[in-house]
């Protein structure tokens, strides 16, 4: 769900070591956070198990634009994306809080403009989540973002690099709720935002609803009572040319449709992030539990 400038990163990361000589080979990419790594590895393992395709993993590439450009250039064949991210950040369409509508419009636009296909959603919605400390929520009786707006002039916000600038990020959120802060938001790697919150370096952070750490720390997600954030259904995005060349890939990806709940995604994120379990083994266990 995040975006970054990509020209230099794309040249250095995607093109380095590229080889197109292998037959029956596809390349899976991912953005640079745990959930993306898990989803890309899940896709890779399942494709390897169900087809004779060789899968090259190019993970941890950066933000949305890096991966999107990788698809357009042919350096990537597929990667996991979120409907709300594509709808707002790539297509730059006006806000719409309608999961089927966002998916349909995004799917149609990607097909027509980019020759890319969105396959079946994986089953969960990873929306942005504005998070505060539980002690603050209880003391100030905060349940919604509207409740928090009166206190934010004394607060400092912590956000990821993309959220600070993107169309569906902090600028639009602040306008919708009238949020004003005591200082410019502190931008940081997404892995650091909850540490900064619990250490009281910031007072509100922009996380994600499936972040595993939310089940472990005394934190509260404030309700988006004005429904600012669009739905963010996770789904594989694939080059049409790749699907035409390898129709068996389409069947393998169809198997993954509606297989992951938000609770299951949060659990896998927690296993990798907090419990430091091996990512590949976490994915293998999930596939066994789901009989994939």
pLDDT digit string, tens, across residues 215-246: 788 899 999 999 898 899 999 999 999 999 99
Out of 166, 197, 222, a domain closes at 222
277 and 143 inside one domain: no
Give 206's DSSP letter: E
CATH number at residue 79: 3.40.190.10
76 and 45 inside one domain: yes
62 and 120 inside one domain: yes
Tokens (6 digits) for 63 = 């933000």
30 and 138 inside one domain: no
2: in domain:
no
Alpha helices in 163-232, H assignment, sequence order: 170-177, 193-198
Predicted pLDDT of residue 62: 82
238 and 218 inside one domain: no
Range of the domain at 132: 128-222
pTM (whole model) above 0.85: no
153: in domain:
yes
The closest of 161, 257, 4, 47 to 170, measured between CA atoms, is: 161
Mean pLDDT across the stretch 67-96?
94
The closest of 257, 27, 248, 1 to 119, measured between CA atoms, is: 257
Out of 222, 240, 269, a domain closes at 222
pLDDT digits (tens, 9 = 90+) for 109-130: 999 999 999 999 999 999 889 9
**Which pLDDT band, with edges at 50, 70 and 90, does 2 fall under?**
very low
197 and 280 inside one domain: no
Are the CB atoms for 4 and 65 separated by under 8 Å? yes
72: in domain:
yes
Predicted pLDDT of residue 212: 87
95 and 159 inside one domain: no
Measured at the alpha carbon of residue 207, what is the angle toward residues 230 and 268, in degrees to the nearest 5?
Answer: 100
195: in domain:
yes
Mean pLDDT across the stretch 34-41?
96
Q: Say how many C-beta atoms besides its own lie within 10 A of residue 92's C-beta.
A: 9
1: in domain:
no
**Which pLDDT band, with edges at 50, 70 and 90, does 61 fall under?**
very high
120 and 138 inside one domain: no
> In the chain, how many domains are there?
2
Give 185's DSSP letter: P
Out of 198, 222, 246, a domain closes at 222
Mean pLDDT across the stretch 125-138?
94
For the chain, helix, strand, coil in percent to 5 are 45, 15, 40
Mean pLDDT across the stretch 96-101?
88
Burial class (CB in 10 A: 0-12, 13-18, 19+), 265: buried
Tokens (6 digits) for 6 = 């990509």
The closest of 67, 13, 7 to 36, measured between CA atoms, is: 67
143 and 242 inside one domain: no
168 and 240 inside one domain: no
**Which pLDDT band, with edges at 50, 70 and 90, does 17 fall under?**
very low
**Which pLDDT band, with edges at 50, 70 and 90, does 163 fall under?**
confident
Return d(Cα 157, Cα 168) in angstroms, integer.
16
Mean pLDDT across the stretch 61-67?
91
Q: What strands lie across the sheet with 54-58, from one edge to the other?
A: 54-58, 25-29, 78-82, 234-239, 116-118
The closest of 117, 161, 119 to 3, measured between CA atoms, is: 161
Burial class (CB in 10 A: 0-12, 13-18, 19+), 201: middle
CATH number at residue 206: 3.40.190.120
- Tell which phi-psi region holds residue 190, choosing left (phi > 0), alpha (psi between -120 and 50) or beta: alpha
């Amino acid at each position: 769900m995040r975006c970054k400038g990509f020209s230099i990163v794309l040249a250095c990361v995607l093109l380095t070591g590229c080889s197109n000589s292998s037959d029956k080979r596809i390349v899976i990419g991912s953005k640079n956070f745990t959930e993306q790594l898990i989803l890309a590895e899940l896709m890779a393992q399942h494709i390897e198990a169900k087809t004779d395709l060789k899968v090259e993993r190019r993970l941890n590439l950066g933000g949305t634009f890096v991966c999107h450009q990788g698809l357009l250039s042919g350096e990537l064949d597929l990667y996991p994306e979120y409907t709300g991210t594509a709808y707002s950040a790539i297509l730059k369409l006006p806000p719409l809080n309608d999961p089927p509508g966002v998916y349909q419009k995004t799917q149609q636009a990607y097909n027509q403009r980019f020759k890319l296909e969105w396959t079946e959603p994986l089953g969960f919605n990873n929306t942005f989540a504005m998070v505060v400390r539980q002690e603050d929520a209880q003391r100030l009786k905060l349940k919604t973002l509207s409740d928090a707006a009166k206190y934010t002039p004394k607060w400092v916000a912590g956000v990821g690099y993309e959220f600070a600038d993107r169309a569906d990020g902090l600028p639009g959120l602040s306008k919708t709720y009238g949020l004003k802060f005591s200082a410019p938001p502190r931008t940081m790697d997404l892995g650091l935002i909850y540490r900064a919150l619990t250490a009281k370096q910031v007072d509100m952070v922009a996380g994600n609803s499936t972040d595993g750490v939310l089940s472990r720390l005394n934190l509260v997600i404030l309700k988006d009572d004005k429904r600012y954030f669009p739905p963010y259904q996770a789904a594989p995005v694939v080059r049409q040319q790749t699907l035409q060349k390898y129709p068996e890939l389409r069947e393998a990806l169809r198997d993954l449709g509606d297989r992951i709940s938000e609770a299951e995604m949060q659990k896998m994120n927690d296993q990798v992030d907090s419990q430091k379990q091996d990512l590949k083994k976490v994915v293998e266990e999930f596939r066994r539990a789901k009989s994939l």
